[in-house]
Every structure is written in structure tokens, then in C-alpha cells.
Chain A
Amino acid sequence: MTQAAGPAADTERLLSPGFLRKLEQAALASKHIMIGRTKGERRSARRGSSVEFADFRAYNPGDDIRYLDWNAFARLQRLFLKLFIEEEDLHIYLLLDASRSMDFGSPSKFRWALQAAAALAYIALCGGDRVQVFTHGGGDGDVSRLYRGRGGAPELFGWLTERKPGGQTELVKSVRVLQSVAPAPGLVFVISDLLSPEWEAALSQLAASRGEACILQVLTPDEFEPGARGDLRLVDSETEQEREVTMGASVLRRYERERDEFLSAVRATCNRYGFSHLLSLSEQPVEDVILKSLRRLQVIR
């Protein structure tokens, strides 16, 4: 539940014990019913062995005769098989943006993303779901192993804290990696600033898999409202592209218009694909965002 103790434990601790306790109460809500891999606590699309009745079907030879409905046979002289809802576990995929653009803000967006990822993973692990984390940026990105059960949390937290931001945002590529590596469709959390021209392509790629997704978009306050003034040469931290700009009222007005258009486009695209979307500033406490904002979006129960 907690990370390795030590002198640096407090600074490096992703989540406070109090927050972890609150997270234990929460559960991830999946809108769709999906097929899992092992028996879990979630209703599966498969018919299975839970106590919850789902349907009847005609008996075929070879079926387990334990599930025959004898009462129906007595009335109708025909064999019917009772089908029950199968309860299986859910795959939770966390797509974490570890590009250099996340290393801005105080606390940085990346730190915020790590905390959010840890919190979501902890909820999932407590709910008996499988969790796998994908990061992109810094080469091909990393993929964690598949974790299941509360016991995997410390290791996952350790794995998360070892991630360092760097490289370029490659959202589409990392979605493709996720789709190829993921053993089964599941709930995908994308934690990113989406500040890349390929954000739309990535969301559309994500929608191609039948999975459900929640987009946690994080921006620094400075990205939301730039505070720099004067004649500047803006240098992109990832691509090192340059833009010369004289920061005046008119340029700022144009930037704000551009920002609003960008955010509403993201929101519209998410709605189109049925994704949940939540915008947060990196200075907002992760605890509030997870427990209040996501609960309001009914991503968390």
C-alpha cells in the first residue's frame, strides 16, 4: 500500500495514506460490459456461473446438465438450459504521457499524471481488476507488466516513480502499442496534456478498439493563461520548433481564442466517441480530481 520507507519516502510518496484509504472505498464504473480473462467481480458478456440469472437457451448435447431447468422440462417436455451472468475481472489500461512537455508546471504535469495514474491503478487493484500502464515519450515508451490484486500496488507504484519525462509525444503510436499488447478490451485512461497535433488521430484510433476510455487532460496554469511578456522566441520543449512572438494584448487574445477552440474540440471529439473527458490544471490536488470530479463524471462510484 505504501512505497518503500526511507528518508525520501515522503517526497517520493505518490499518494498519502489517507488518500489511499479513501481510494479503497471507491470503485471504477464501466459503462460497457466487457469480456475479461479470469473470474472477477465484474459482470461479463459471457454467460457463466454467477448466481444472477440471465437467459434460457435450448439444450445442446454436451451441455452441463447441472444447468438444465427441470421445472420447465416438467411443464413443457423440452430441455432448456439456464444461463447465468458470468462475473469476470476488468482490464484497466493507463496511457501515461511521459513526453518532455509534461515536465512543466509546479508541481509538474508529469508528477500530477503519476499521482492520478497511481490513484486510478490503486482503485482498480482494490477492485480486483487488472492494471497495465503504458507510457509514451522517450523512445518507444514503456509498458508495465499486468498487475492484479492489491498486493501488486507497491510494485506498480515503484515502477511509476521510476518513469522520467522525455522525448516527444507520440499518442497514436502508443495507442497502437496498447491495442496490440492489451490482452483484452478494457477501460483506458489517457493522462496527457494532448498538446500535440496528433491528438485527434490518437482519439480516433482509440475509438477503433471497442474499449471504453476516459481522457484526463492536464495543463499547467501558464499554458492556460500565459504570463510571459515582451518580444520572445518560443521554443518547443519537444520538437525545438521556434515561434517568434511579441507578447501583447492582441497576441494573448488570439492565444486564448485558440486555447478555447482547442479545448472545445477535444471535448467534442470525446463526446463523439463516448469518452469521458476531464480537464485539470496541474496545481489542482489529485485527490479532489479523482474523488470529486471523476465521481461526478460517473467514472468512479
Chain B
Amino acid sequence: MELLAPLALIALLPLAGAVILLYLLKLRRKDFVVPSVFLWRRAVQDVQANAPFQKLRKNLLLILQLLALAALVAGLAAPYFLARRVGGKSTLIVLDASASMKATDADGSRFAEAKRVAEEIVGSMGRRDEAALLVCSDHARLALSFSRDRGRLASAIREADATDCETNVRDGLLLAYSLAAKRPDARIYLISDGAFPALPAVTSSVELRFLRVGSRCDNVALLAFEATRPPDSREHQVFLRIHNYSIEPKHAVLTVSHEENLFHAAELDLSPGETRSETYQLTLEEAGLLKAEIEVEDDLASDNVCYAFAEPPDTVSVLLVTPGNLFLEQALLVLPEVDVFRTAALGAADAQAAYRDHDVVIFDRVRVPKPPETGAVMLIGSGMDGTAALGAEAATPNITSWDDQHPVLRYVNLGAVQIAQTRTLSPGPGAVVLARAGNTPVAIAREWAGARAVAFGWDFMDSDLPLRVSFPVLLSNAIQWLSQSAGRTATMRVSPGAILHFPAPADAERARVALPGGRAESVSAIEGQFTFAGSEGVGAYELEAGDRRWRWAVDLRSPAESNLAPADELRIGEETVQAGIGPPKVEQHLWPLLAALALLVLMGEWHLYHRRY
């Protein structure tokens, strides 16, 4: 308990003196002449027999007056104590549900601790306070909008779960700020370990409090794991990188396995802050899932495993239908394990056979005689109805955005590509826009039952793309993606939380998704594709629909999440918010209580006085 104005207490002395003086003055009795005190004698004798009690009763009034005065003066001194109470009337609780929150350095886990803190905040809410709950993993989710129902808030907090995703606190805070903007007395509590990059500046008057969970950094993480096969080689090169984030040396057991078959195990001693890179040669007869795992005593298990898919040697047959394109031909010929066939034109009758005989058919400025039922096509400056119909012409377009997460555009930079003119494309059902010039799509990828297509709206010869480093990469990506269209199991490695789309085979309405840990989920086809958004946990997944299978693996590979060092402050633009630990404390003023007490005592004194007279 502390006092805001301790000097006010000094007033107690003169005021109490005044009260006592007034009391003494008041007790001066009035003389009253009566005929005889004969009858009064014994009446008063009784009173005098009870003199101590009488004195006490007399003094009781004085004591009550002094008590009321003391309460008033104490109220003037403005005492307060720090109570665990919610400060604002509207509270936004932002829970960090990223992978680092699964660290077990707190009691249970950091996320369990965060939930406990959130529950305490809800528990200390006033009756008319309201709160909302935001859960941030790789995206922000409003778990419960503003509510005064503590039961609903508590159950929303209980139902929240940590994921293996990277943190996207920025979106969460932006959402929180926009929600809080309409509330006059709002406050945002961010409960997190602070393991995320600095946030952009926010112009808002809403108060943000950062409640930190987590206490130490004791973690060893697998940060990279790749299995690549040099062209024309039968051996895979496996590369992996391990980092020790702890301040102590760590002992770990590394195992690398291929489809449950262990082929490498090693004991590693990692000094604090050490990064260890390892490479292995590996001969694989067939494709499959590679898994690297470290066994180590640390706080975070999600980053102790990594996945990679190994592709076996195979030759892709490509048919190039073109009036003549030297750049394209040369680029294709350079690609390893690709057999290129060239023709100037393709008739409608031959098209079906061509789709069947070649893995990929490239139409360069040539009309597509017939869309494929199965197979893969790449369209350059030409359209195909139902997939990418050619639209209006546009001169000197600038490519403003492209999807570098798509396998076709991985490691490809389209930003600097100069294009003389292009045709806009209208995407067909299930198509993904790969690149846009302004708002108009200029590159499209589409996958449908048994077939894949990649379409570019412009003629490569009308642009400087073939002269750029990205060109062979783009072609390689495109050929690889297109060649997986049929008859093979598509494999990929994704980050946690990625939303995946799969083309539904014609006869498949439902697909079964096998999750890590032996569980399974069922997914329904919507508009010809399966959408799966449940890849939040680390592990291997498999979707099976009809005779088609997709395999993917989720691992963390995030230095930001693996570095468990709790942040002492939160940087928002130029400002920093100091971390608080545990639920917030606010000043709880006591003067209304004291004023009420003074009033109560005065009323008691008044009542007592009137009962006596």
C-alpha cells in the first residue's frame, strides 16, 4: 500500500485537536435549577454507579468522530495498492500461439503459462469489463469477440492451442488495434515470448502491454535439411544444419532415415551458439521421404525434426511445338534429364498421342489444338480455353506481383523483366495466378483431374526474360512441376500452417488425409479441389483421393522460432514496450472506501447521539 499524498496525513493532528476541543467545549453542562434534586439523586446515582460505562459511552462519540476524521484524512492521503486487475474496460488479449510457445521452460509450456496469464486477466475483470481473445500463429484469428461472459472467455482460452507455425504477431496486433480503435477505454495485452522481429510503427493511442512468458533459451534446432541429386548422378547429396541456441554445450544424437530405414546416426557435441553443417552421400533406388531427427534434451521439440523428399533419377520427355525459338530450345537442352523433341505444328488428331507420349508439351505461340485430358502443357503466348483464355493486349506491362511460393516460380525473380506486350489471361476453375501486371493475370498455373498446365500471356521473345538468370530456373521448375502431373506421387515440403490445394480426381468426392501420429482426417472436394489447412504440426502428411496420392512434410526451419531467448522488450517502430511478467497490476485506489467508511461512522455517531437524548 502506498500513498499518493502522504502530506495530507499531517492535517490529522490539528483537525483531531479541533474535534477534541469541540468535544470538551460541548461537555460544559448547562445549569438548570429544579425545585429539588431529591428524586434525581437516585436516578443519577444509578448512572454514577455505571460511571466507567457512562464514560465510555461519552467517549464513544468522540472515538467515532475521531475515527470518521481519520478515515477522511486517510482518504485525502489517497492510498492505493497495486492489484492484479484489468486496467481498461475493454481488453484485447493477444495470445502468441507460434512454435516457440511450445517450449517447456515454463510450467507446462510457454503457451500453457500464457493461457494461465490470460485466464487471470479474465478472472480479474470487473463485472462491466469486456474482453476479446486473439490467437496469433502464422495468421491472426479472433477466437472470441468482445464479451463480458467470463465463462465463454475462459473456455475460448482453454480451447486455444499452440501450433508449430512461425509467429505473425504483426497481423494480430494490427487486428487488435483496429478492434480497439472503436473502444474508448481499451487496452491490449500481448502475451508472448517476444520471439519475433521488430514490428512496424502503429499510430494508435491504445495502450499495449507486453506480458512475457518464458525464462531461458535451451534449444538445439535443425535449421536446414536438403537432399539434392546432381544431374546424371545416382547419388543424392544430403545436407543438414544444426544450431545450438543454448548457452550450454549440448549433446545430441542425429539420425537420418529414408522411409523409416535408418541409414545414418551420429553423436554430436555442440558448443554454445555453434552451427554444425553435415553432408552425406546417399544412393536411393526410389523416391521417398527423408527424415532427419536429433535426440537432445531441450525445451522445444518441434525443431528437432526435418523432412526432405528425394527424387530418383528419371528422364522427362518434352515436346516443343514452336515455329522456332532458339532461346527456349537451348534452355531446354541444357536442363539435365530432359529429352526434348521439336515440331513446328501439332494437329488435333496427333495431340492426344502427343500428350500420352510426352510428359510435357510446350506450345510456343502455337494454338492448342485440343486441351489434354491427362498430361501436362506449357503455354507461351498462347491460350487454351477453360484454363487460360487469352484476353486483351497490354503494352509494356510491369509485373507487379508473383507467387514465389509456387513451385513453378521458386527462386525466380520476375520483377525486373521487361515485356514489350502481353495478352491478359482469364484463369479457369481452380487456376492459380502466378504473376500479375497490376490487377491483370499474365501467368497462370492450373491443375485438374490428371492434368497440369502453366500459361504465360506474353511471348518470351517479346521480353528480356530469356536473357535473365531466372529463365533456366523458371523452365526447370515448370518442367519439374508439370512432369509430376500424372502417375506419380507428388511430394513437397511446406512450412507449418500452409494451406494446400489439390485437384480432385474426377471420381473422388472425398479424400483421406493421414496426419502425423497415425491420425486421419477426411476432406471433401469443393469446386474440383481439396483444400487442406491443417498442416500446423510438424510431421509427414499424405492425402489419398482415388488413385492419386500427395505427400508432404511439415517442419519448422525457423531460426526466429528456434531461438527461445525471451525478449525483454517489444519494438514497435521507434518505440519499445518493456516486458511485464505475469498478469498486469493496476493502482487500486482506496479513497472511495475510506469516504464511505467516514460516512458510515458519522451516521453511527449520529444515531448513537440521538438514542441517548
Contact = CB atoms under 8 A, between A and B. Distances in A.
Interface in B252-294: none
17 contacts: A101-B36, A193-B35, A193-B36, A195-B36, A196-B38, A234-B33, A234-B40, A235-B33, A235-B37, A236-B35, A236-B37, A241-B37, A243-B44, A251-B47, A255-B40, A258-B42, A259-B39
B40 A247 contact: no
B128 interface: no
Nearest to A219: B35
Nearest to A248: B612
Interface size class of A (residues with CB under 8 A): 35 or more
Given A238-B36, A243-B44, 18 more contacts: A100-B35, A104-B34, A104-B35, A109-B35, A193-B36, A195-B39, A197-B38, A220-B35, A231-B29, A233-B29, A233-B30, A234-B32, A245-B40, A245-B43, A246-B613, A255-B39, A258-B39, A258-B40
Interface in A194-235: 195-197, 220, 223, 228-235
Contact of B35 (A101, A230, A233, A255): A101
Contact of B32 (A104, A193, A233, A249): A233
A272 B30 CA distance: 41
Interface string A229-269: 11111111111011111111111001101110010000000
Please list the 8 inter-chain residue pairs (A to B) with the smallest Cβ-Cβ separation, ordered nearest first.
A101-B35, A195-B36, A248-B612, A233-B29, A254-B43, A255-B43, A236-B37, A232-B32
Given A104-B35, A232-B29, A235-B33, A243 B41 contact: yes
B10 interface: no
Contacts of B26: 231
B48 to A, nearest CB: 9
A223 B40 CA distance: 10
B527 interface: no
Contacts of B38: 195-197, 236
A44 B233 CA distance: 169
Nearest to B40: A243
B1 interface: no
A230 B40 contact: no
A231 B40 contact: no
B31 interface: yes
Interface string B291-315: 0000000000000000000000000
A236 B612 contact: no
B32 to A, nearest CB: 4
B613 A234 contact: no
Of B27, B41, B58, the most chain A CB neighbours within 10 A belong to B41
B607 interface: no
A229 B610 CA distance: 11
Given A243-B40, A254-B47, A237 B34 contact: yes
A109 B36 CA distance: 13
B612 A234 contact: no
Given A244-B44, A249-B612, A251-B47, A234 B39 contact: no
Nearest to A252: B43
Interface size class of B (residues with CB under 8 A): 20 to 34
B36 A236 contact: yes
Interface string A33-62: 000000000000000000000000000000
Interface of B: 26-44, 46-47, 54, 58, 611-613
Nearest to A102: B35
A239 B37 CA distance: 9
B35 A234 contact: no
A246 B612 contact: yes
Contacts of A251: 43-44, 47
A39 B107 CA distance: 125
A182 to B, nearest CB: 28
Interface in A137-170: 169
Contact of B44 (A102, A228, A245): A245
B43 A196 contact: no
Contact of A237 (B35, B40, B54, B611): B35
A217 to B, nearest CB: 13
Contacts of A195: 35-36, 38-39
B44 A233 contact: no
Nearest to A196: B38
Contacts of B27: 231
A233 B27 CA distance: 11
A237 B613 contact: no
Given A232-B29, A248-B613, A237 B44 contact: no
Given A246-B612, A251-B47, A254-B47, A228 B32 contact: yes
A253 to B, nearest CB: 9
Contact of B29 (A100, A244, A262): A244
A34 to B, nearest CB: 33
A130 B40 CA distance: 39
Given A235-B32, A237-B36, A230 B613 contact: yes
Contacts of A100: 35
A237 B39 contact: no
A164 B597 CA distance: 60
A275 B528 CA distance: 128
Contacts of B36: 101, 169, 193, 195-196, 236-238
B47 A245 contact: yes
Nearest to A241: B37
Given A228-B32, A244-B29, A247-B613, A234 B46 contact: no
Contact of B611 (A101, A104, A249): A249
Contacts of A246: 47, 54, 58, 612-613
B50 to A, nearest CB: 10
Of A102, A229, A251, A259, the most chain B CB neighbours within 10 A belong to A251
A173 B30 CA distance: 34
A272 B41 CA distance: 26
Contacts of A169: 36
Nearest to A194: B38
B43 A258 contact: yes
Given A244-B29, A251-B47, A235 B34 contact: yes
A125 B54 CA distance: 57
A214 to B, nearest CB: 22
A223 B35 contact: yes
Contacts of B33: 234-235, 237
Contacts of B54: 246
Of A243, A249, A257, the most chain B CB neighbours within 10 A belong to A243
Nearest to B38: A195
A242 B612 CA distance: 21
B52 to A, nearest CB: 15
B94 to A, nearest CB: 66
A243 B39 CA distance: 11
A249 B612 CA distance: 6
Contacts of B28: 231
A228 B28 CA distance: 16
Contacts of B29: 231-233, 244
Contacts of A197: 38
Of B32, B35, B43, B611, the most chain A CB neighbours within 10 A belong to B35
A258 B31 CA distance: 22
B30 A232 contact: yes
A256 to B, nearest CB: 9
A193 B36 CA distance: 10
